[in-house]
A and B are shown apart, each in its own frame.
Chain A
Amino acid sequence: MASTRGATVEFRDVSKRYSGQLAVDQLSFTVPSGRICVLVGPSGSGKTTSLKMVNRLIEPSGGAILIDGHDVLREEPTALRRRIGYVIQQVGLFPHQTIAENVGTVPRLLGWPKDRIAARTEQLLALVGLEPSRFGRRYPAQLSGGERQRVGVARALAAEPPLMLMDEPFGAVDPIVRDRLQNEFLRIQRDQGTTVLFVTHDVDEAIKLGDRVALMRGGRLVQYAPPGELLAHPADEFVAEFVGSDRGLKRLALLTVGGADLDPTVDRRGVGGNAPVLSPATTLREALARMLASEAQVGVVMDGERYLGVLTLAKIGKMIRSDA
Chain B
Amino acid sequence: MTPGEPLIRWDWIASHLDEFAFRLGEHFELTVIAVGVGLVIAFALSLLILRAPRTEGPITWVSGTLYTIPSLALFALLVPYTGFTVLTAEIGLVSYTLLILIRNIVRGIRGIPADVREAAVGMGYAPREILWRIELPLALAVIFAGIRVATISTIGLVTVTALIGQGGFGFLILTGMQRSFFTTEMIAGAVLSVALAGAADALLVLLQRRLTPWTRAA
Q: Which residues of A are at the interface with B, using a C-beta cutoff of 8 A?
A: 55, 57, 78-82, 86, 88-97, 105-106, 109, 138-139, 141-142, 155, 165
Contact = CB atoms under 8 A, between A and B. Distances in A.
Nearest to B136: A96
Given A90-B115, A96-B138, A78 B125 contact: yes
Given A92-B113, A139-B218, A141-B217, 17 more contacts: A78-B124, A78-B125, A81-B123, A81-B124, A90-B115, A92-B116, A92-B118, A93-B119, A94-B120, A95-B116, A95-B138, A105-B123, A109-B123, A109-B129, A138-B217, A141-B214, A141-B218
B52 interface: no
Nearest to B121: A57
Nearest to B211: A96
Contacts of B121: 57, 81
Q: Which of A94, A106, A142 has the largest count of B CB atoms less than 10 A from its CB?
A: A94
Interface in B107-141: 113, 115-126, 129, 134, 137-138
Nearest to A141: B218
Given A78-B124, A78-B125, A109-B125, A88 B218 contact: no
Nearest to A105: B123
Q: Which of A86, A88, A95, A155 has the largest count of B CB atoms less than 10 A from its CB?
A: A95
B212 interface: yes
Given A94-B134, A96-B212, A139 B123 contact: no
B113 A90 contact: yes
B122 A78 contact: no
Contacts of A94: 116, 119-120, 134, 138
A88 B126 contact: no
A305 B195 CA distance: 86
30 contacts: A55-B122, A57-B118, A57-B121, A78-B125, A81-B121, A82-B123, A86-B119, A86-B123, A88-B118, A88-B119, A88-B122, A90-B113, A90-B115, A91-B119, A92-B118, A94-B116, A94-B119, A94-B134, A94-B138, A96-B134, A96-B137, A96-B138, A96-B212, A96-B214, A97-B214, A109-B129, A138-B217, A139-B218, A141-B218, A142-B218
B214 A139 contact: yes
Q: Which of B117, B123, B137, B212 has the largest count of A CB atoms less than 10 A from its CB?
A: B123
A78 B126 contact: yes
Contact of B124 (A82, A92, A142): A82
A79 B115 contact: no
Contacts of A55: 122
A139 B119 contact: no
Nearest 7 CB-CB pairings of A with B: A92-B119, A90-B115, A82-B124, A81-B124, A141-B218, A139-B217, A86-B122
Nearest to B138: A96
Contacts of B212: 96
B118 A106 contact: no
A91 B113 CA distance: 11
Given A92-B116, A94-B116, A95-B116, A106 B124 contact: yes
Contacts of A57: 118, 121-122
A98 to B, nearest CB: 8
Interface string B195-217: 00000000000000000111001
Q: Which of A78, A106, A142 has the largest count of B CB atoms less than 10 A from its CB?
A: A78
Contact of B123 (A91, A96, A106): A106
Nearest to A79: B124
